[in-house]
Amino acid sequence: MTLVDTDRALQLYQALGTAVEMSGGSCANTMTGVASFGGRAAYIGKVSDDELGRVFGHDMRAVGVQFRPGSPVADTPTGRCIIVVTPDAERTMNTYLGVSSLLCPPDIDLKTVAAGKVLYMEGYLFDRPQAKEAFRHAAAHAHAHGRQVSLTLSDSFCVDRHRDDFRSLVTDEVDILFGNKDELMSLYEVDSFDAAVAAVQRDCHLAVITVGAEGCYIVQREGVLTAPAESVHEVLDTTGAGDLFAAGFLFGYTRDYPLEQCAKLGAIAAAEVISHIGPRPLVELKSLVP
């Protein structure tokens, strides 16, 4: 994943040949996944009053996600990500955060935060000082209303940029941490996965760490569980795999399912999204649950 500026984003966008254009975004993908399982979800974020922003809002509402947009900012376009997927199903992402990176405390719909059982925050936006303030503002409000706070590390690139802030957030504010093996090892700057698991076990009430085709580790202070991945006939695009895994896990978690069952739902959702091009499910995920 590489961050690009406005000019580069527009240049790449105009240079594209045949492409598939669809709404995405890490946290937004997760919320659409929760809704696809039949859950209730809301999304707080910033778009501009442009074509992509209007399409994004429509797509969120169309799948049943309540959209709570922050205030637009003049002359700052809606964020976008140009993704090239190679035959091995891996992806190269050129990300322009756009107006989404300007999220600030007044953009946080506190009633929505207080109403949700779990607040879910994505690491991609943890960049500007006001965005960090917005994260902590939302987390504090969630905790004040007896809610839980979760965070996805999003990408090793994000961890490398904000390691100290992330570690402080995980220790002070986060109840549930999502990430993959590489992100967790980067977070704690260790060379072994076991050392990273031991560190997060000390810092966080619950961490769910994916390890690709091997499944995931569910890390609690009292012990560590493992859960398998779902088999996939053919992997076409890994974009959104972590997002949809979190969706399935959170759907089960907010219904007080056993943690192994939460991981099972996450694996089902991840398997669906990597079986086709695009970061969101093409079928109702609840139809895939045995």
Q: What is the tens place of the pLDDT at every residue in 115-135?
A: 999 999 998 888 789 999 999
Average the pLDDT over each of 43-47, 87-91, 164-168, 248-252 and give the range with the smallest value: 87-91
> 0.75 exceeded by the pTM?
yes
The position carrying tokens 């797509």 is 59
pLDDT above 80 for 18: no
Number of domains comprising the chain: 1
Has residue 175 been placed in a domain? Answer: yes
pLDDT above 80 for 287: yes
Other C-beta atoms closer than 10 Å to the C-beta of 59 total 17
Sorting pLDDT into bands at 50, 70 and 90, what band is 206? very high
DSSP state of 169: H
Has residue 86 been placed in a domain? Answer: no
d(CA 95, CA 34): 24
Residue 156, pLDDT score: 86
Residue 212, pLDDT score: 92
Which residues on adjacent β-strands are paired with residue 3? Answer: 95
Q: Is 25 helix (H, G, I), strand (E, B) or coil?
A: coil
Has residue 184 been placed in a domain? Answer: yes
In sign, the C-alpha dihedral spanning 33, 248, 45, 122 is negative
Phi-psi region of 202 (alpha: psi -120 to 50; beta: other; left: phi over 0): alpha
Query: Are 220 and 205 a contacting pair, CB within 8 Å?
Result: yes
pLDDT above 90 for 6: no
Task: Please state the separation of Cα 93 from the chain's center in Å.
Answer: 15
Q: Is 152 helix (H, G, I), strand (E, B) or coil?
A: strand
Has residue 12 been placed in a domain? Answer: no
Sorting pLDDT into bands at 50, 70 and 90, what band is 193? very high
Indicate the average pLDDT of the chain: 93
Give tens-digit pLDDT for 254-275: 999 999 999 999 999 999 999 9
The position carrying tokens 């600030």 is 104
Give tens-digit pLDDT for 38-65: 999 999 999 999 999 999 999 999 999 9
Has residue 59 been placed in a domain? Answer: no
CATH number at residue 131: 3.40.1190.20
The position carrying tokens 């100290």 is 164
Has residue 74 been placed in a domain? Answer: no
Residue 144, pLDDT score: 98
Residue 113, pLDDT score: 98
pLDDT above 90 for 192: yes
CB contact burial 38-49 (16+ within 10 A = b; e otherwise): ebebbbbbbbbe
Residue 34, pLDDT score: 98
d(CA 267, CA 269): 5
Has residue 197 been placed in a domain? Answer: yes
Domain carrying residue 219 = 26-44+64-69+102-288
Residues 182-206 have a mean pLDDT of 96
Has residue 208 been placed in a domain? Answer: yes
Average the pLDDT over each of 14-23, 132-141, 196-205 and give the range with the smallest value: 14-23
